[in-house]
Amino acid sequence: MSTAHNRVALVTGAGSGIGRAIVERLADDGATVLITDLPHVIDSLDDKTALPPGVETHALDVQDASSRAAVIDTITGRHGKLDILVNCAGVGRDARLTNIKDEDLAFTLNINLLSAFSLIRRALPLMQAARGGAIVNIASRAWLGIFGSGAYSASKGGLIGATRSLALEVGELGITANCIAPGYIATPLSATLPQEVLDKTLRSIPVQRGGVPEDIAATVRYLALEGSYMTGQVLTVCGGRSIGDPTSR
């Protein structure tokens, strides 16, 4: 089994939930991991949270070009390479595409899609310096389409399409690029769902449980450390929900 010793990883949107679980899983395997998130989130981590060994913090507003440049400059100065990049930062603003505000559409696409690939472009020279690596983009089952969340669906569908194209371009460099499309995952955000919606969602999952952030972290670990012959793929981690609803029998 591969370990992450001597590997350097960058995870965006990693202050809590799925991103934080990814950081902890890679750190447990021996990686040096940069946990990045908005400045106020990083401040709270530095002040209150015991971070695992090998974890470094860095404020990152993925929307801001200078902030993206600063985190890459930090990695260059400290480590001189980057082996693993996980784009986990994301937002969703629910509204029908027929009446969503232009600024909400732009905000969602910028964070979920455009910023991720701007960071990838900046990171690629560091990954080449590492003589290969793994890029994992966290998408969503919503890329298939979801009522009332067209902007979010578009951003995640775009992320998947661009990742597949990226895999064709960087394969010769020894770099893999894949997406993970989570289904329902128990996070602070999903906890805000109305109870009746949550109950219906859980009943519709064939394995009869909701996912947890560690389920996604385990999949990231596989892609980053074990899956060197897998690239351009979308791994749907949803407890079987994508194949059908057992309550519809």
Residues acting as catalytic residues: 152
Question: Phi and psi (nearest 5°) for 204?
Answer: -85, 0
Cα–Cα distance, 30 to 5 (Å, whole number): 4
**CB-based contact 88:22 (threshold 8 Å):** yes
Instruction: Say how many CA atoms lie within 13 Å of 138 toward its Cβ.
Output: 28
* Cα 171 to Cα 167: distance, rounded to the nearest angstrom: 6
CA proximity to 180, closest of 238, 226, 234, 242: 234
Rg for the chain (alpha carbons), in Å?
18
**What does each C-alpha distance from 95 to 131, 150, 214 come to in angstroms?**
43, 7, 29
Taking alpha carbons only, the member of 155, 7, 33, 35 closest to residue 94 is 155
Distance CA 65, CA 119 (A): 9
> Given the structure tokens 């260059």, which residue do they identify?
76
Expressed in angstroms, the distance from the first to the final Cα of the chain is 41
Question: At CA 157, angle to CA 153 and CA 161, rounded to 5?
Answer: 170
